[in-house]
Structure 1
Amino acid sequence: MRHNSKTWLGVFLALFFAVAMVVLQTPGTASALEDGPDDAADTPDWDPTVDNGIATFTNLNPGDKVTMYQIGRTKLDTSNRLYTRWVDPDDKDQETPEGSTIYGCEVQTWIDAASNEDTSVLEELSNVISGKANDFLGKLPNFSSTGVVADGVLTVENLPAGLYYTVIDNSDNATYVYQNLITAVIPQPDNKGHWHQPKGGSGPKRTQMDKAINQFVSDKAAGPFDQNVVDTVGRDQTAYFQTTAMIPRYVGTDKDLNSRTLSFTIQYPNDTKETPGKIEIQDNSFAIKSNGEDVKDLLKIQDNKEANPGVITISPDEGKMAEFLKKAQGKPIAITYQGMVGEKVAPGTKMVVPISQTFSKNSYGIDPEKDIMTIDSTGTGKDKKPIQAEINEYGLKVKKVSVKDPSALLEGAVFDLYRAKSDGTKEDNPVTTVTTTTEHGYSATIPALGLGTYYLVETKTPAGFIAPTDDTKVTLTTEGMDNSVLTQTIANTPNNTPDQKILPTTGGPGTIALTVIGVGLMVAALVWIVRSRRHE
């Protein structure tokens, strides 16, 4: 029995020492990094040496491409904490020392603004950093999206953890202007102090620029332009133009804003062999408003008739781009002006006054030439409004004939021509006065009229005829014209027609009444005479 007891004791001691040796050889678990999450098998650890980050961008358009330039590199220190340093543009595999401001500020300044969600400070810093990063683009590691936008979403994969200057571009459609964007792709922590795949992205802000500028032309100075739009005005008349466009939104310091490009160019025809007649734009007629606020004092209007005739340029005055953008960025702008149509314009002539807008697509871009976008008034606006200011002249020919014989043309009729108001009544003052003469085939032609409604008022009638009691309403459309001239025939009644007498001669109610009264008086007189004789 003793032998058996000693044997069991030896076995127990051997097992004890074996277990002790295993425990002594197992690493400690003091670091939180080594405490894996419950779902560690499904969520692998982040390996700082593996570029497996992903950035997801929303609010994009079909055809958009995202390019990310790494300006900051994120790593782990010995205490399992993240830290970020600027990428050294002179050696992209190295980081700058802590506190470096090579991109316009310390990296921690941007991180603090992002952590505090201080939007205004973050946007301003993003513009500063983007401006500096733009100087180093050829030296920085860059990563581009390889897929296509689906439901407004696009991703960039295989990214090292860190900060990126992000550029969004579209070779097919550059009418969206995106703000400068700094994107953080940062490892994601769990509640066990364990770091996982770096992720980042955003829904970048943008300004929608129309594919074309909306431009209106009117023959009226007063009232909303979109209610008085015409596509023709008369020769030697004033045409009123209004251009509406969007101003891109750029947020940044005054220095950043002053570096933007923004201008409008108006081209109007002069006297040439190709363009008979002209439009003389009146420089002092310009009114420029942003959401109803006058901003003309911040802009310069240049019309160098000698060096560049027929071209007017509008842009922020020197040193005032920042002030202008702070008032107008992200808002529509309305430019109103007027011009006189030349006397040489013949009926049927079409003349166009195109206007274009040039602007920076992004605050900073890869290629300065590609970074500038121009749109004009010859495309198709999203709201389908008239965007091309056409001046197309038409004429009105007035013929005077007799009711009795329509083939008998009359001379000597004088007409005043009035435009119709929006309420259908005629304007107070006539457009012109014309007389039918034999020289013009017993007719009168009024050239250079715009399409629309007019009233002919006959102020003098040919001898032997009665003037019409009503004005003649005429509507000029492109239909029913002969060489852009509409013929209006007006018939007059000869003044010897019986049914045109002022008073009736026979059979009328007035004659019958007088006859009845006369007969009654005669009967009464006869009765009185008879009675008088009987009394005698």
Structure 2
Amino acid sequence: MMHGISMEGRFKALLSTLFAMVLALGVFFPSAALAETTGVTAANQGTATGKLTVTGLTDGDKVDIYKIVNTTIQGDNTLKHEFAADYGISFDAYKVYASDSVEMKKAAETIGSSANLGAVAQPQKTATGTSVEFTGLSAGEYLVKVTPASGKVVYQWSIAKLEYTAETGGVSYKLNDGSIAVKNTPVTIDKKATGEDADTHNTSQYSVGQVIPYTAEVTIPQYPSNATNRKFKVTDTMTAGLTYMKAVGFSIMVGSTDVSGSFDITHNADGFVAEIKSDAAAAFFSTYNAGQKLTIKYGGKINSSAVVNTPDVNTITLEFANNPYDEHSNDTVTDHVDNSTFGLKLVKVDNDTASPKPLQGAEFTVYTDSACEHPMVDENGSVIKLTTNAQGIGTAKGFGEGTFYVKETKAPAGYTPSSDIKTVTFKATKTSNPGGGYTITIEHEGTGEYLNFYDAGSIVNVPQPGLPVTGGAGTVALTVVGVGLMAAAGVIVARSRKNEA
């Protein structure tokens, strides 16, 4: 039995305890505070609200919702649905469309572009994570518009519903929360070279004069039939070390269908531009669904400007509309393939083993076969040769991975060409770096300015056999013998003529 506390005090204590219990329930069972509205009738429907959750987003995406269908409870306890404005389509036709049907998608596109769409139902929300929530919404249907944060996707218009369901007894309704998983098309471009390294996106098996076959796959975005912006342009500009090769074949396909006729295509000296034709865009994006791939094939020939120490980075760019109703809302995605070529270095010296002398003017030819019958040629068809400088050093560049054969085809004046044939094998190792990028090394690699050059070492020349040094004793003896022989020959000729006379 409690003593010293009045009845009023006990009542207040009980209320405090009950209030604390309510708070505790709110903490441990928060869903109870967010329960869907029940017991809704025609009389109190003005206070009935629900929640709409939009999922399938990326962090930073911005979401707007528009009330397009009003749902009200009538005096006879039936439900009435009607458009919030005139959107130019029949509600009787609209109300029977399945939620994921093509007809519903087109209806959403039509409503979204209507001048009567009106203001947003609530202020715009920005996604934190993959979803946003709108609360305090009345019954009906809402058009959902998503503006991507990255610009690398194109979202489709979506329609979400907050619907009534009849409660037991049929005298009231429950307003259900709604949710919608929005759909988008990630817009990507993927450029590949035949034989490239998958980890580094690098190709190194092609030599100067050879053509690299390229394939670019582009994701086709989904643009509505009434879009006012369908920007879709692909550009590839070759680097200095590559020559654009339209002649090897250029094609634009979707699957096995040639769609090049839908594009304005410009071939330049250093690349191409392919842009969807304005009068063909609607039919193209209606025919080919979101997510299908556009495939472009073309080539680039390695030329003598190819860089040895740094890979040539060849980039392709897609410019596209990321908001189909705003002609100024475009974005770009890119991809690239790197091409690496290597150099060859050798040194020409004489046969003085104590102090080899560098020889200038030696000429070497590079062959692709061990019999040295097929010389390597550059992009213009000229034979690739190495000619040594005053330091005896000869270099050439533009080699891809593989085996080549180097033969001296012209010796310096006074020397005999070497009969040795140097076998040179370029083998590259590509290592991804922890901080990004990658490193390429080759076997027998030089240092300093000859990094990424195969160091073939020294090739020795032997002097040609010749007369002894002028003024020596041997020279005098030979001269005397020569004069004597010439005199004897003269006597013999004279006697022969006398006898004939």
TM-score band (shorter)? 0.5 to 0.7
Q: Which residue of 2 aligns with 1:107?
A: 91
2:394 matched to 1:444? yes
Q: Which residue of 1 aligns with 2:405?
A: 456
1:410-431 Cα shifts (integer Å, max 9, x gaps):
67563324499xxxxx998734
Q: Quick check: 233-242 or 196-205, which moved more?
A: 233-242
2:414 matched to 1:467? no
Alpha-carbon distance, 1:330 to partner? 0.9
**Kept after mapping to 1: 8 A contact 2:37/2:176:** no
AA paired with 1:445?
T
AA paired with 1:473?
T
2:160 to 159, 183, 191: 183
2:291 to 322, 330, 346: 330
Query: Which has more strand, going by share of residues?
Result: 2
AA paired with 2:449?
N
Distance 1:146 1:206, change over 3 A: closer
Distance 1:283 1:144, change over 3 A: farther
1:320 to 280, 289, 304: 280
Alpha-carbon distance, 1:68 to partner? 0.3
**Kept after mapping to 1: 8 A contact 2:207/2:400:** no
**Kept after mapping to 1: 8 A contact 2:306/2:312:** no
Q: Which residue of 2 aligns with 1:430?
A: 376
Alpha-carbon distance, 1:76 to partner? 1.9
Distance 1:404 1:156, change over 3 A: farther
Secondary structure in 2 matching 1:103: coil
Secondary structure in 2 matching 1:143: coil
Superposition pairs for residues 495-514 of structure 1, below 5 Å? none
2:215 matched to 1:242? yes
Superposition pairs for residues 517-536 of structure 1, below 5 Å? none
Runs of 5+ in structure 2 lacking a partner? 1-34, 429-439, 463-501
Superposition pairs for residues 123-142 of structure 1, below 5 Å? 123-132=105-114, 135-137=115-117, 139-142=118-121
Identity of aligned residues (%): 19
**Kept after mapping to 2: 8 A contact 1:417/1:454:** no
AA paired with 2:232?
L
Distance 1:493 1:42, change over 3 A: closer
Distance 1:131 1:489, change over 3 A: same
Superposition pairs for residues 284-299 of structure 1, below 5 Å? 285-291=249-255, 293-299=257-263
1:281 to 244, 258, 266: 244
Distance 1:120 1:224, change over 3 A: farther
**Kept after mapping to 1: 8 A contact 2:66/2:142:** yes
Could you tell me how far apart the structure 2 residues matched to 1:342 and 1:473 are?
Answer: 20
Q: Which residue of 2 aligns with 1:256?
A: 226
Distance 1:435 1:43, change over 3 A: closer
Could you tell me how far apart the structure 2 residues matched to 1:340 and 1:122 are?
Answer: 50
Could you tell me how far apart the structure 1 residues matched to 2:37 and 2:141 are?
Answer: 27
Could you tell me how far apart the structure 1 residues matched to 2:254 and 2:387 are?
Answer: 53
AA paired with 2:50?
G
Secondary structure in 1 matching 2:143: strand
1:480-528 Cα shifts (integer Å, max 9, x gaps):
4433562522556899xxxxxxxxxxxxxxxxxxxxxxxxxxxxxxxxx
Could you tell me how far apart the structure 1 residues matched to 2:164 and 2:310 are?
Answer: 67
Q: TM (normalized to structure 2)? A: 0.65
Could you tell me how far apart the structure 1 residues matched to 2:389 and 2:458 are?
Answer: 20
1:451-485 Cα shifts (integer Å, max 9, x gaps):
534423437597475535x7332346556443356
Could you tell me how far apart the structure 2 residues matched to 1:419 and 1:333 are?
Answer: 40
Distance 1:316 1:455, change over 3 A: same
Superposition pairs for residues 50-449 of structure 1, below 5 Å? 50=47, 52-88=49-85, 102-114=86-98, 119-132=101-114, 135-137=115-117, 139-144=118-123, 146=125, 148-150=127-129, 152-171=130-149, 173-193=150-170, 194-210=172-188, 213-216=189-192, 218=193, 223=194, 229-230=202-203, 238-250=211-223, 252=224, 255-256=225-226, 260-268=230-238, 280-283=243-246, 285-291=249-255, 293-303=257-267, 312-325=272-285, 326-327=287-288, 329-340=290-301, 352-364=313-325, 368-369=327-328, 372-377=329-334, 387-390=335-338, 394-400=342-348, 405=353, 407=356, 412=362, 414-418=364-368, 430-431=376-377, 433-434=383-384, 437=387, 439=389, 441-447=391-397, 449=398
Alpha-carbon distance, 1:55 to partner? 1.3
Could you tell me how far apart the structure 2 residues matched to 1:143 and 1:85 are?
Answer: 20
| C-alpha RMSD of matched pairs (Å) | 4.3
AA paired with 1:215?
K
The total of aligned residue pairs comes to 396
Distance 1:203 1:484, change over 3 A: farther
Could you tell me how far apart the structure 2 residues matched to 1:475 and 1:399 are?
Answer: 21
Secondary structure in 1 matching 2:291: coil
Could you tell me how far apart the structure 2 residues matched to 1:404 and 1:121 are?
Answer: 89
Secondary structure in 2 matching 1:125: helix
Distance 1:286 1:141, change over 3 A: same
Distance 1:79 1:302, change over 3 A: farther
Could you tell me how far apart the structure 2 residues matched to 1:360 and 1:408 are?
Answer: 67
Q: Quick check: 140-149 or 404-413, which moved more?
A: 404-413
1:121-165 Cα shifts (integer Å, max 9, x gaps):
222222222222xx345x334224657445x34321111222222
**Kept after mapping to 2: 8 A contact 1:466/1:492:** no
Runs of 5+ in structure 1 lacking a partner? 1-39, 89-101, 270-276, 378-386, 421-425, 496-536
AA paired with 1:355?
I
Distance 1:190 1:283, change over 3 A: farther
Secondary structure in 1 matching 2:40: coil
Secondary structure in 1 matching 2:105: helix
Alpha-carbon distance, 1:181 to partner? 1.0
Secondary structure in 2 matching 1:483: helix
Could you tell me how far apart the structure 2 residues matched to 1:465 and 1:330 are?
Answer: 62
AA paired with 2:59?
P
**Kept after mapping to 1: 8 A contact 2:346/2:459:** no
Distance 1:346 1:388, change over 3 A: closer
Distance 1:437 1:357, change over 3 A: closer
Q: Quick check: 345-354 or 392-401, which moved more?
A: 345-354
1:350-409 Cα shifts (integer Å, max 9, x gaps):
765443222232444xx553xx331232xxxxxxxxx33456665322335689949455
